[in-house]
């Protein structure tokens, strides 16, 4: 039924397993048909803690410790027999579903098919940018097409390589290239041939090209969450990676055809590319828009058989779809909620999933949403959001709405204090306004009276203190004295008045 050949990421966490770590609920797959990573964090479900055997008596996990205590074995067995699930993999976002379960997306599917068809006759492959909010099917569509191309190529003795990288993981260009080397090496069953440290990034690129050239006739690099590839001293590591990979074919570093396909949620991504990358990357831009409640409903209906027959009460799917469409029509969220609802039902010993289980799952999701989202942001976005929240948090007289100009000056001060590159005002504003998609804030432009121009203002939908604490816990910003930030905020607000 399903090809669950990919690893997971943090997104599969059940609501109770979310911690103050980077558990941004986004998904991707590494190389098809297998993965290259070992740090698998997915699949932690609500019932996992029942089987860990922690605490007293854990060492004697296979037998009953006393007559009135239910053994771990019995609990495991009873959990299985009570399960509301028939095929739980179908409601894990990382599972690559069969194409007959894909709902809509005909236009995007067509474009990706047209672009990758040349792999079948060895002609040139274009670069692509798959752009759209989280959970709108970008990974699903490109991987579904690649899966078919791999099969077709195999039958014609053509070697088509699918080399995927989730750019959220590596912390530098160097690490990203090393991971690509490792992914190809694993796929073709050879040693990476370069050490992780001690050699230059150029040497790693050379090894990557050598492997690709030796083992593939054509290749697609799928770079998921491309905008998150930033290094500690290089906010533009994503540009460097796109620049190098997209030139590899024309420079003759790779003889076969190459498609560099980048996936991002960030609508202004191309504006952040440096000019070198912009001129060499040049992708076919394919947009993935939000799902509405009806589409989410259809997506869930197509996975109804994840549950045992009769285990879903009538209102469950419409309610999960309605919750899923509340933010921005994220299919991953809807699928997570669907699974969590089932897990909550199981926990309560119920053999049917009811509306109440869905509501409990949604409450737990909301509790952790902001934390997960902010933790998963790239450093520069965190910085921009932090500076904006700081205006409200540190002001002696907090403004109802945060003037973008004030936020930008605070942003510059913070970036310089921690030796981070500071971007221009437009980029700061873009990074902050993007957070509207995730419900973190709203913005508006309004005049300040005659002759005083039109200004952009932000209003936070989240507690500024919670945002500040989350970013501080996860970055160098925490090292700046709060009094310093406070005095900059108040001085800038006075200047604005």
Specify binding-site residues for ATP.
136-140, 291, 303
The SS3 of residue 85 is strand
How many residues sit in the footprint of ligand ATP (CB under 6 A)?
25
Regarding 137 and contact with ligand ATP (CB under 6 A), the answer is yes
* Strand partners for 257: 218
Q: How far apart are CA 311 and CA 171, in angstroms?
A: 44
Q: What DSSP assignment string belongs to 195-210?
A: -SSSS-HHHHHHHHHH
Classify burial at 434, counting beta carbons within 10 Å of its beta carbon; exposed 0-12, middle 13-18, buried 19 or more.
buried
Binding mask 414-433 for ligand ATP (x = CB under 6 A): --------------------
Regarding 169 and contact with ligand ATP (CB under 6 A), the answer is no
Stretch that binds ligand ATP, among 129-137, 340-348, 361-369, 428-436 (CB under 6 A): 129-137
Q: How far apart are CA 362 and CA 380, in angstroms?
A: 30
CB of 366 to ligand ATP, least distance (A): 18
Q: How far apart are CA 273 and CA 269, in angstroms?
A: 7
Q: How far apart are CA 490 and CA 472, in angstroms?
A: 20
Q: How far apart are CA 393 and CA 105, in angstroms?
A: 42
Buried b (16+ CB within 10 A) or exposed e, 83-102: bbbeebbbbbbbbbbeeebb
Regarding 335 and contact with ligand ATP (CB under 6 A), the answer is yes
Residues 263 and 165: beta-carbon distance below 8 Å: no
- The single residue among 8, 10, 15, 93 that binds ligand ATP, judged by CB under 6 A, is 93
* Token pair of 124 as six digits: 């040139």
Regarding 376 and contact with ligand ATP (CB under 6 A), the answer is no
Instruction: Specify the residue, 100 or 191, whose C-beta has the smaller distance to ligand ATP.
Output: 100
Kindly calculate the radius of gyration of the chain based on its CA atoms and give it in whole angstroms.
Answer: 24
Stretch that binds ligand ATP, among 136-144, 168-176, 189-197, 467-475 (CB under 6 A): 136-144
Regarding 90 and contact with ligand ATP (CB under 6 A), the answer is no
Stretch that binds ligand ATP, among 21-29, 238-246, 279-287, 307-315 (CB under 6 A): 21-29
Regarding 28 and contact with ligand ATP (CB under 6 A), the answer is yes
Instruction: Specify the residue, 135 or 231, whose C-beta has the smaller distance to ligand ATP.
Output: 135
Q: Which of 39, 40, 36, 38 has the alpha carbon at shortest distance from 185? A: 36
Binding mask 205-244 for ligand ATP (x = CB under 6 A): -------------------x--------------------
The residues of the shown chain that bind ligand ATP, judged by CB under 6 A, are 26-28, 93, 97, 101-105, 134-140, 224, 263, 265, 288, 299, 331-332, 335
């Amino acid at each position: 039924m399903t090809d669950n050949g990919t690893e997971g990421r943090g997104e599969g966490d059940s609501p109770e397993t979310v911690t103050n770590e980077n558990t941004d609920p986004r998904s991707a797959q590494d190389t098809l048909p297998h993965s290259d990573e070992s740090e698998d964090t997915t699949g932690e479900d609500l019932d996992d803690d029942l089987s860990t055997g922690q605490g007293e008596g854990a060492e004697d996990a296979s037998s009953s410790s006393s007559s009135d205590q239910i053994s771990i074995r019995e609990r495991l067995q009873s959990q299985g027999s009570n399960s509301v699930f028939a095929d739980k993999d179908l409601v894990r976002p990382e599972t690559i579903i069969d194409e007959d379960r894909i709902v809509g997306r005909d236009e995007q599917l067509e474009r990706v098919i047209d672009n990758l068809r040349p792999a079948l006759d060895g002609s040139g492959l274009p670069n692509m940018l798959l752009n759209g909010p989280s959970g709108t099917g970008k990974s699903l569509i490109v991987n579904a097409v690649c899966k078919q191309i791999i099969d077709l190529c195999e039958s014609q003795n053509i070697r088509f390589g699918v080399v995927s990288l989730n750019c959220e993981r590596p912390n530098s260009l160097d690490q990203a290239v090393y991971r690509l080397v490792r992914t190809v090496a694993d796929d073709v069953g050879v040693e990476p041939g370069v050490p992780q440290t001690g050699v230059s990034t150029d040497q790693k690129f050379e090894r990557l090209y050598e492997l690709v050239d030796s083992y593939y006739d054509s290749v697609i690099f799928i770079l998921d969450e491309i905008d998150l590839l930033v290094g500690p001293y290089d906010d533009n590591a994503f540009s460097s990676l796109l620049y190098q990979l997209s030139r590899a074919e024309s420079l003759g570093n790779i003889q076969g055809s190459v498609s560099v396909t980048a996936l991002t949620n960030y609508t202004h991504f191309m504006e952040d590319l440096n000019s070198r990358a912009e001129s060499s990357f040049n992708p076919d831009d394919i947009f993935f828009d939000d799902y509405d409640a009806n589409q989410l409903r259809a997506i869930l209906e197509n996975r109804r058989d994840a549950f045992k027959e009769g285990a879903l009460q009538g209102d469950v799917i419409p309610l999960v779809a309605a919750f899923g469409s509340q933010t921005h029509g994220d299919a991953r969220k809807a699928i997570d909620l669907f699974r969590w609802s089932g897990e909550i039902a199981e926990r309560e010993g119920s053999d049917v999933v009811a509306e109440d289980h869905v509501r409990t799952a949604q409450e737990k999701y909301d509790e952790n949403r902001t934390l997960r989202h902010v933790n998963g942001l790239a450093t520069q976005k965190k910085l921009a959001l932090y500076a904006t929240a700081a205006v409200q948090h540190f002001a002696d007289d907090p403004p109802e709405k945060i003037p973008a100009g004030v936020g930008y000056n605070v942003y510059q001060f913070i970036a310089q204090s921690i030796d981070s590159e500071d971007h221009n005002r437009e980029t700061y504003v873009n990074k902050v306004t993007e957070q509207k998609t995730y419900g973190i804030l709203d913005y508006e432009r309004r005049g300040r009276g005659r002759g005083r121009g039109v200004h952009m203002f932000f209003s936070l939908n989240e507690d500024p203190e919670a945002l500040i604490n989350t970013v501080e816990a996860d970055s160098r910003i925490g090292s700046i004295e709060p009094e310093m930030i406070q005095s900059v905020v108040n001085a800038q607000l006075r200047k604005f008045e």
